[in-house]
Structure 1
Amino acid sequence: MAANEVAICVDAGTTVIKTVVFDKDGRELAVTRRETTVRHPSRERCEQDMHEVWDAVVATVGEAVARVARPVRLLAVTAQGDGAWLVGPDGRPVGPAVLWNDGRATDVVRDWRADGTLERAYRINGSLTNAGLPNAILRSLQGDAPRTVLTCGGWLFLKLTGVLGIEKSEASAPWLDIHRGTYSTELTDLYGIDPAVLPPLLTEQVQPLTATELGLPAGTPVVLAPYDIVTTAFGAGATTVGQATCILGTTLCTEVLVAAPDTTGEPSGLTLDFGTAGLIMRSFPTLAGTGVVDWLIDLLGLADHDEVTTLAAQAPPGADGLRVWPYLSPAGERAPFLDPVASGFVGGVLFGHGRTHLARAVLEGLAHVIRDCLDAAPGRPVELGLCGGGAASPLWCRLIADITGVPAVSTEDSQVGAKGAQVFALTALGDYPDLAAAASALVRPAARYEPDTATRDLYEDAHAEFLQTRALAATRWDRWR
C-alpha cells in the first residue's frame, strides 16, 4: 500500500456489520457499523433478511469512504459462516438466510448420528456436522426449485463482484474431502443432497468491484477473506502451526493451526482448509458465547457487559461454589461435543449466593467451555490469543488464563476480524510474501495474562466437577426439552 492509501475491511457478523478503515501500517482510522435483525419465527429458527445484510454493508462502506477521504487500495470482506444463504438462478435470495445457530435441523442431525452418517462424513472431511451447517439445513427444508447454497461471505461477494462461488474455508464443512481440498460426491451422497446446489469453489478470491452503490470506483480490488473464525485468528496474529486463538463472541470459537488434516480419532469440531499450503485450522465453535452474558444482563436488569464484569469482580474465585453450565442455545451444543438437546443449568445454589456470585459463575462457566475445547484440540498451545467483544474485559481474560492454565494475550485492535481481513488481503495482493509476514507487520500485542498459581488447584477441581456433572445432566437433557 502507498503511504496515503487505505484498506476498507468489512466484518459481517451475525448481529452487527462493521466496516473498518486501516492505513498501510494497520492502524484503525475509522469504524462504522449497523445492527442487523436476527429473526426467530419460532423457538428453534434463526434467520436474517439477506437484502438487509447487503444494505448494511452498503451503508457502512459508504459512510467509511466519506469519513476518510483517501485513495482506497482494496475492499476486503469476511463474514459469519455456516448456515444456508440460498439464491435462485438469477442470483436473488429465495427466502431468508438460515443462520449458523438455527435449530430446525436437530432431528436430521440426530438421525445422522444414529445411522453413522456423521462419523463416516468425519472420516472424509474432518468436521462434525451440527444443525447449523448447510447440509443439515438443506435436508430440513422443503422445496425442489433450482437454487444454490451460499454463505454470508459468498452472498456479499456475489453482490460486490457478480461472481458466484464459495471460499474454501466455508466449503470445508461439510462439502470438502479435506485431504484433497475438493468437493466430494461421497459426502453429498451420504447427506442425500444433489451436488447441483453447490456453488463453484473459488480459485481466485480477488475480483474487481462491479457494485455501484458503495461510493468506490468500479474495478477496486475486492478480496474475499476466509470466513470470520479463520480471519479473526489472522487478526490476532495466529498464522503459523501451533498458534491458538479464542474468539469471545456470539460463539466461543477456540482454534489451533495445524500442518495437515487428521480425520482419525473421536469426531469433534471443524477442520478448515483456507487455501494456504501447510496450514489447516482445527476449530471448535461452540453455541455457548456472549449470548449467555446477554441473557444474564436481561435476567438481572443490568446495563451492559461492563456491569457484569463489575459484579463478577466482587465475588471470590470459584464463586463460593455456585456453578453455571452455559448451554443455553435452542440448538444445544456443537463443540467440542455434539448434542442438539443440551441445556444449561445452575448448580450449588444457596441462600448466601447473590448477583455477584451468579455474574462470576457465568464468566467462569464460559471459561470452562473454552478449556474443554482446548483439551479437544491437537497439542497444547504455549499461549492463547483472545479477541472478540469479550476480550475487552480484563477480568474475563484473567479468568480464562486461570481456568485453562494457558497464558492469554490480546492485541491493541478493537476490530480483530477486520484486521485479519487486511492481513489476508494484502498477502493475496502481494504486498507481503505470506500471512506470517503480514501479521508481524500489522498486528500489535496489547496485554498478557499469566495463570494465577494460587487458584490452580481450585480451578482444576472445578473443571473436573464441571465435566462430571455435565455428563450426568446429559442423561436427562432430552427430557428437559
Structure 2
Amino acid sequence: MAVLCVDAGTTVVKAVLFDEEGRELRVARQATQVRRGAPGFSEQDMDGVWDAVVHTVRAVVDARLEPVRMLAFTGQGDGCWLVGPDGRPTGPAILWNDGRACDIIDRWEAGGVLDAAFKINGNYGFAGTSGAILAWLRAHDRARLDASHQALYCGGWLFLRLTGEYAAEESDAASPFLDIRTRAYAPEILDLLGMPWAERLLPGVRGDGDRIGQLRPLAATELRLPAGLPVVMAPFDIPATALGIGAVTPGQACTILGTTLSTATPVTVVDTSGPPAGMTLPSGVPGGYLRSLATMAGIEAVGWGMKLIGLDKPDGISDLAHTADAGADGLFFLPYLSPAGERAPFRDTRARGSLSGLTFEHTRAHIARAMLEGMSYVVRECLEFSGVRATELRITGGGANSEFWCRLLADVTGVPTMRSADSELGAKGAYIAALVASGAEPSARAAAERHVRPRDVFEPDEKRSALYDELYADFLAVRDGTRDQWERLAVSRARPRPADETGSRRSSA
C-alpha cells in the first residue's frame, strides 16, 4: 500500500505517492502566488493554498497504482494564518518573509526582549514570526484580530481542512511562544512580549506521539480519498526536509537551497547560552532537536540575478558561473535581498544586498560566479555558527539541481556534500514521520537508513578549499565594512520623493 505525502511550500505545493520502500511512484506540483501588495508585505490566499493541495493530491490519486494507507503533510513555517470561529480565514495568510513588523522587532531587540526570549525558546525573533505579526495586527488591524479565533500556521491550516481539528505542530509552535525544553507554551514569553492577550489565539500543541488525525468526509470527497484515512501532521518543512534527506544524527548537516537558504544540524541538547540567532526546533526525531539557521533570501536571489544579467534557463547561471575562475576576480555578492533584511546567522532588518568590487573588466560570468559564491559563504557561516562540527552536508531544494553549486558548496565549506535520489525531500520527511508515528518504523534513524538513498557525493577539492578559506574571510570583511552603510541606506529610502519622480518610476515599472 502507498503513503500519500504533501509539501505545501511557499511558492509550490507538491504531492508525492510513495510505495512501501519509500520510492516515489508519482509526483504532482502546483505553483502558488505570493502577493506583495504593499512595501514589506508578503501574503498568500489561504483557500488558494488548499486548492493547490486538492489539485496535486487528485493528480496523484487518480493515477495511483495501489491503495493509499496514510496521508502525511508538511508545509512552510512561521507566518500567521488566522481563522475565525467558523474555521474560515479572516484574511490572507501573512507569510514568514513578511516585513511589516520590522519596527516591532527592532523595538523588542533594543529592549533586550528578544535576547531574554531566546534563553527560553532557543529562537531569535524576526518580523515573520507569528508574535511580531500579531503585535502588528493589534496596532494596525484590530478588527481582523478581534474577528480571529486561532492563529494557525500553514500546517495547522491544512490539518484543520483535513481533519476539522485546530492544532499547531510543535516545530511550528516553537517560535516564538514555546518553552523549547518542555515543548509547552511559556506564559513568561507572552509577558516579555507584552502579549498576554494573544494566549486565546494559540492552538493546542501536537508532536511526538500525537500526530495522527482522521480525514473528515468533506475533505475526503474533495481529495477523492476514503473518509477516516489516517492523517499525519509532520514537522514543518525545514525539519521535515532534514528527516527526508536523512540528517537525523549530529554531524549530518542539511542545507535547503530553496526559497530560504536553510542550514540545519541535529542536536540532542538545547543550548541557549551562545549568541542568540536562528531557530532551535523539535526535529521530528523523538526527543531530538534541530539547530536551524534560515536566511531571508534563497534561490529567489538566483532568479533575480538571472534577470539582471539576461538569463532565461534555470541552469544558465551555473553554466555561466563555471566559466569564471574561483573568486570572480575580486567580485563579492552580499545576498541580503529580502525587504525584511536578514535573520540568520545575524538579524538586521536593515540588511541589504550589494555587488562589491565591480570594474569594467568584470563580465556576466563574474557576476554569476560571485552570486553563487556569496550564497555559499552564507551557508558556511551558518554551519560554523551552529557550533556543531559537520562531517557531511546533505543538499536539497531547487538549487541542488545544479551540480556546479553542489561542488562549489563542498569546496567553500570543506565538507563533502550529498544529494538524495528523491526529488521531493520535504514530502519524504513527512513520509518518514508518518512511518514512525504509525509504528511502521521503530525510529527516525532506522527509517532514514532504510528509505533514504544517496544520488551522488561531492568531495571538496583541497586546493580550491584552501583558496576559499581566504576568500570567505574576505567576504566577511567586505560584509562587515558594508553593514555600517545599511542605516544610511534605510534613511535614504525613507526620504520623501517629489510626486512627479514617484509617478515616473511607477509608470516605467
Normalised-by-shorter TM-score class: over 0.9
Q: How does 1:184-223 map to 2 (within 5 A)?
A: 184-193=186-195, 194=197, 195-202=199-206, 204-210=210-216, 211=219, 212-223=221-232
2:201 partner letter: V
2:432 pairs, out of 423, 428, 434, with 423
The Cα shift of 1:278 comes to: 3.5
Q: Distance in 2 between matches of 1:379 and 1:188?
A: 30
Match of 2:69 in 1: 73
The Cα shift of 1:274 comes to: 4.1
Q: Distance in 2 between matches of 1:285 and 1:456?
A: 24
1:45 pairs, out of 25, 41, 46, with 41
Match of 1:182 in 2: 184
Q: How does 1:156-305 map to 2 (within 5 A)?
A: 156-193=158-195, 194=197, 195-202=199-206, 204-210=210-216, 211=219, 212-274=221-283, 276-305=285-314
> What stretches of structure 2 of length at least 5 have no aligned partner?
491-509
Distance 1:315 1:275, change over 3 A: closer
Q: Distance in 1 between matches of 2:461 and 2:359?
A: 27
- Check whether the contact 2:30–2:52 (CA below 8 A) recurs between aligned residues: yes
Identity of aligned residues (%): 51
- Check whether the contact 1:209–1:220 (CA below 8 A) recurs between aligned residues: yes
1:55 partner letter: D
1:113 partner letter: E
1:128 pairs, out of 102, 124, 127, with 124
The Cα shift of 1:273 comes to: 1.7
- Check whether the contact 1:241–1:279 (CA below 8 A) recurs between aligned residues: no
Q: Is 1:364 the equivalent of 2:373?
A: yes
Match of 2:486 in 1: 477
Q: Is 1:89 the equivalent of 2:85?
A: yes
The Cα shift of 1:242 comes to: 3.0
2:356 pairs, out of 347, 367, 384, with 347
Name segments (4+ residues, structure 1) moved above 4 Å.
none
Note the alpha carbon deviations across 1:427-467, whole angstroms, 9 max, x for none.
11111000011111111011111111111232111111111
Q: Distance in 2 between matches of 1:354 and 1:451?
A: 27
Q: Distance in 2 between matches of 1:278 and 1:80?
A: 22
Secondary structure of the corresponding residue to residue 349 of structure 1: coil
1:450 partner letter: E
Match of 1:149 in 2: 151
1:8 partner letter: L
The Cα shift of 1:209 comes to: 0.4
Q: Distance in 1 between matches of 2:440 and 2:128?
A: 36
Higher deviation after alignment, 340-349 or 455-464: 455-464
- Check whether the contact 1:288–1:366 (CA below 8 A) recurs between aligned residues: no
- Check whether the contact 2:278–2:343 (CA below 8 A) recurs between aligned residues: yes
The Cα shift of 1:275 comes to: 5.7
Secondary structure of the corresponding residue to residue 175 of structure 2: helix
The Cα shift of 1:169 comes to: 0.5
Q: Is 1:376 the equivalent of 2:381?
A: no
1:231 partner letter: A
Higher deviation after alignment, 201-210 or 287-296: 201-210
Q: Distance in 1 between matches of 2:459 and 2:284?
A: 34
- Check whether the contact 1:79–1:152 (CA below 8 A) recurs between aligned residues: yes
Q: Normalising by structure 1, what TM-score?
A: 0.97
Higher deviation after alignment, 37-46 or 272-281: 272-281
Q: Distance in 2 between matches of 1:188 and 1:197?
A: 12
- Check whether the contact 1:126–1:270 (CA below 8 A) recurs between aligned residues: yes
- Check whether the contact 1:168–1:275 (CA below 8 A) recurs between aligned residues: no
Note the alpha carbon deviations across 1:212-268, whole angstroms, 9 max, x for none.
210000011111100000000011111123321000101000000101111111101
Q: Distance in 2 between matches of 1:244 and 1:275?
A: 15
- Check whether the contact 1:8–1:72 (CA below 8 A) recurs between aligned residues: yes
Note the alpha carbon deviations across 1:173-228, whole angstroms, 9 max, x for none.
11111121110000011112221111111252111101121000001111110000
Secondary structure of the corresponding residue to residue 213 of structure 1: helix
Q: Distance in 2 between matches of 1:348 and 1:461?
A: 16
Q: Distance in 2 between matches of 1:216 and 1:196?
A: 34
Note the alpha carbon deviations across 1:118-140, whole angstroms, 9 max, x for none.
00100110110011111011111
Secondary structure of the corresponding residue to residue 67 of structure 1: coil
Match of 2:10 in 1: 14
Distance 1:325 1:120, change over 3 A: same
> What stretches of structure 1 of length at least 5 have no aligned partner?
none
Match of 1:28 in 2: 24
Q: Distance in 2 between matches of 1:365 and 1:288?
A: 12
The count of residues paired between Structure 1 and Structure 2 equals: 477
- Check whether the contact 1:80–1:152 (CA below 8 A) recurs between aligned residues: yes
The Cα shift of 1:43 comes to: 2.3
- Check whether the contact 2:5–2:427 (CA below 8 A) recurs between aligned residues: yes
1:50 partner letter: M
